[in-house]
Structure 1
Amino acid sequence: MLKGYTLPRTPRGTSSLAPTPPWHYVGNALAVEYAADPKAAAAFLPAGLSLASNRCAAYFIEWQYSSETEEEFLDPVRSQYRETIILLSAEFEGSPVAYCPFIWVDQDVSLMRGLIQGWPKQFGATWITRAYGLPSKANPAIGPGGKFGATLSVKDRRLIEARVTLRELTDALPTPNFAKAVNVRYFPELTAGKHQKPAVHELVQLKSRDVMVSPIWKGEAALEILDHPYIELPDLRPTAVSAGYRFSFALTVDDLTQLKDLRDTETASD
């Protein structure tokens, strides 16, 4: 009997790209709140969601991951990765949610875990300023005046540049954030005649547990989204930038909720 949570499934089941949940995460995040053109933002929302506001957020995160074995971080290449996430402010049946139109990651196992959850992950190279807690000109302070930068490059093209200067502690996370995030799980058909009728197309809400957040530092920020020949992220470039943030957080993922089967929606619109 073949075993494994994801492909490849093998006799012992240890070769699967992503192991069986729960999945445990901890990360350092740099985030920028900004406003985008509301018509452009609304155009990215799937059926079932409506635009709550034109407020968006770009997150740059350096993650470390572990399964229940708590062994992956002892082989860091299995555990560490960096990610850039774009979130839009949306509503589902009158309740505020976040929606992710774009997300880039640099590890295949993270890409697989994300696709299972409905995150639309692609490969990209994220770089983030690190802090080491020592008084050095090479080390930014996690406190007033601390300066941090982040970049994203996709297919060898620079796509995002961000800078944050910390000023004060705050009790509020950036908006939108990951609480009540809604994703689309989508898996297409290859059978002739069914290319427009996916095997899986559903709106889901993520369910995280054991969430912990460090002190949150806030300050001014700059964000630039650069042109790209085919990635449509520049449609969501900032019309205004409001604030930047730096914080650490941890969470565990092993569940989600199906909100809506979108296959019927698409059939009705065909």
Structure 2
Amino acid sequence: MPWSGPLTPSGRSALVPDGPWTYVMDAVAVHARGDPSRMEKVLPDGLNPLGDLWFYVSDIISFSPSSEDLTYLSPGLLQYKEAAVFVKVEFKGKVYGFCPFMYVDNDVSLLRGIVFGFPKKMAQIEMTRFHDLFEAKRYGGVAYRSGYNLFRVIVEPSKREESLPFEGFGSWLLRRYLKPIELDEFVEFVPEITYGKILSGEGSLEVGGGFNDELEELRPEEILGGYIYSLKLKARGIRVLER
């Protein structure tokens, strides 16, 4: 069954086809530390921020075995850009990566993420593209929404790595919240990740925000590093932790 309407007998008109979904992405990211007392202002009650931040901009291809034909008939439906920030938090004695803000430029990704519990909004997103025959000194990504800058990341890679510090954030903690149907629950998303290349180096991060995006509470106090990387992602497990 499709994950959303419009529902027709064939299922072909659904905005979000059935899963399971897999994602391959190139990303530019900055690992930083901020003020936990400010982070609390944009986090749900019960989450204790530990100070670490992971800002990234990515170029993503998604695919599902239930809709393989979309890959070549309507590739634009499954390809999109994404910009997000994760905060390292403690919840009931366990460490998680919690995502308070996430932005995409594609309606399929928007609704699919909301179904999972990702707090997605639409935005204009740009990023330096990767290619095996292209090598830049610096890579960057930026996101804008409603006339204001959300954030910009710039990375000057210099060293190959085997893993990312983002792995230390743990599995992902999501909040599925839809007031009209009285849905409010915390969900654990356990990612299964296969890495391609990972490069680290110097990073810079500019965090803006606006009247409808309180990103100013997540402005960094210290930059720990910049990263560019490629990976494949799918869900290893999803479970409700608390309603």
TM-score, normalised via structure 1 length: 0.83
Aligned to 1:152: 143
| 2:216 aligned to which of 234, 237, 240 | 234
Aligned to 2:179: 188
| CA–CA distance in structure 1, aligned partners of residues 145 and 199 of structure 2 | 28
Would you say the 8 A contact 1:118–1:183 is kept in 2? Answer: yes
Aligned to 1:90: 89
| CA–CA distance in structure 1, aligned partners of residues 142 and 115 of structure 2 | 26
| Structure 2: gaps spanning 5 or more residues | none
Aligned to 2:68: 70
| CA–CA distance in structure 1, aligned partners of residues 17 and 237 of structure 2 | 14
- Aligned length, in residue pairs: 241
Could you list the per-position Cα deviations for residues 42-69 of structure 1 after superposition, in whole angstroms to 9, with x for gaps in the alignment?
Answer: 2322234222x21101011100011114
Where 2:110 maps in the other structure, the secondary structure is helix
| Structure 1: gaps spanning 5 or more residues | 190-197, 262-270
| CA–CA distance in structure 2, aligned partners of residues 91 and 179 of structure 1 | 10
| CA–CA distance in structure 2, aligned partners of residues 178 and 15 of structure 1 | 37
| 1:246 aligned to which of 205, 224, 228 | 228
Instruction: Give 1:176 deviation, angstroms.
Output: 6.2
Where 1:111 maps in the other structure, the secondary structure is helix
Would you say the 8 A contact 2:151–2:205 is kept in 1? Answer: yes
| CA–CA distance in structure 1, aligned partners of residues 3 and 163 of structure 2 | 37
Change (3 A) 1:177 1:67: farther
Q: Match of 1:188, as an amino acid?
A: K
Structure with bigger gyration radius: 1
| CA–CA distance in structure 1, aligned partners of residues 208 and 215 of structure 2 | 9
Aligned to 1:108: 107
Would you say the 8 A contact 2:87–2:98 is kept in 1? Answer: yes
Would you say the 8 A contact 2:148–2:209 is kept in 1? Answer: no
1:56 aligns with 2:56: no
Instruction: Give 1:103 deviation, angstroms.
Output: 0.3
Would you say the 8 A contact 1:214–1:248 is kept in 2? Answer: yes
Could you list the per-position Cα deviations for residues 135-192 of structure 1 after superposition, in whole angstroms to 9, with x for gaps in the alignment?
Answer: xxxx434xxxx31011111113222122100011123313367740000001112xxx
Would you say the 8 A contact 1:55–1:175 is kept in 2? Answer: no
Q: Match of 1:140, as an amino acid?
A: E
| 2:185 aligned to which of 194, 202, 216 | 202
Aligned to 2:7: 9
| CA–CA distance in structure 2, aligned partners of residues 118 and 187 of structure 1 | 10
Change (3 A) 1:254 1:200: farther
Aligned to 1:214: 196
Where 2:166 maps in the other structure, the secondary structure is coil
Aligned to 2:159: 168
| CA–CA distance in structure 1, aligned partners of residues 2 and 232 of structure 2 | 26
